[in-house]
Amino acid sequence: EAGVAQSPRYKIIEKRQSVAFWCNPISGHATLYWYQQILGQGPKLLIQFQNNGVVDDSQLPKDRFSAERLKGVDSTLKIQPAKLEDSAVYLCASSLSTVGDEQYFGPGTRLTVT
Amino acid sequence: AQSVTQPDIHITVSEGASLELRCNYSYGATPYLFWYVQSPGQGLQLLLKYFSGDTLVQGIKGFEAEFKRSQSSFNLRKPSVHWSDAAEYFCADFGNEKLTFGTGTRLTIIP
């Protein structure tokens, strides 16, 4: 079974530029999550999709971050404009459903904002 | 609000020695608790989880964890560590249908 795929693996941008990350979840997984992991901290949930609908985006900085999951499969997370404090690893995860199911994580995208 | 505390930022143990990583939670009458491991450059992998039932949970790679409600703890243990266990370990609590992670414990193994 293929795991959660993410690209790119690394990205370096200057502040005020925009960036987009892509995630392909495990086939058949209805729920998709985006996490932000700042160095030295645990992952923090940014947004959760159930199929192509948003379940929870309470911790997403909506003035600069946006995410979509068209057709309930792939997802993209965008930052525009980026700030220095956005430097982090962005993890995508997926699960069969929401309630307590194991979340399978991708390898992450390491973003450096200079 | 739910929170998960991992008091130890960094632990060093000798190969072959026993290991215990601490985790305390503060949410819910029936917590759903997880331990994940993150190796450098990789995503998180689930080691084990506790929902209910037997308070001693067995996981992959020889790890186990014990849920103690009286102490609000869910400590991870392994009787004999291997060099390949060097990684970052995260405890997490599933409350409000959301995983909340602790800050992690980095494990270093010395020969």
What's the rounded mean pLDDT across residues A72-85? 96
Name which of A40, A41, A103 is nearest B99 (Cβ-Cβ).
A103
Residue with the two structure tokens 């159930």? A50
pLDDT in tens, B47-98: 999 988 889 999 999 999 999 999 999 999 999 999 999 999 999 998 777 8
- The pLDDT value recorded for residue A1 is 65
Do residues A63 and A74 lie in contact, with contact meaning Cβ atoms separated by under 8 Å?
A: no
pLDDT at A98 over 80: no
Tell which A residues from 35 to 94 touch B, by Cβ distance under 8 Å.
40-45, 48, 55-56, 91, 93
Please indicate whether residue A52 or residue A77 has the higher confidence score (pLDDT): A77
3-state SS of chain B is CCCEECCCCEEEEECCCCEEECCEECCCCCCCEEEEEECCCCCEEEEEEECCCCCEEECHHHCEEEEEHHHCEEEEEECCCCHHHCEEEEEEEEECCEEEECCCEEEEEEC
Task: Give the up-direction half-sphere exposure of residue A88: CA atoms within 13 A in the CB hemisphere.
Answer: 22
pLDDT band at A57 (very low <50, low <70, confident <90, very high): very high
CA A110 from centroid of its chain's CA atoms: 11
pLDDT in tens, B24-58: 998 666 788 999 999 987 889 999 999 888 899 99
> What is the distance between the alpha carbons of residues A61 and A46, in angstroms, rounded to a whole number?
8
Tell which B residues from 61 to 90 touch A, by Cβ distance under 8 Å.
90
What's the rounded mean pLDDT across residues A93-102? 83
- The pLDDT value recorded for residue B27 is 65
Reduce the DSSP state of residue A8 to 3 states and report it: coil
> What is the distance between the alpha carbons of residues A35 and A76, in angstroms, rounded to a whole number?
12
B51 touches A at CB < 8 Å:
yes
- The pLDDT value recorded for residue B28 is 65
Do residues B64 and B58 lie in contact, with contact meaning Cβ atoms separated by under 8 Å?
A: yes
Contacts of A102 in chain B (CB under 8 A): 46, 49
pLDDT in tens, A14-32: 999 999 999 999 999 999 9
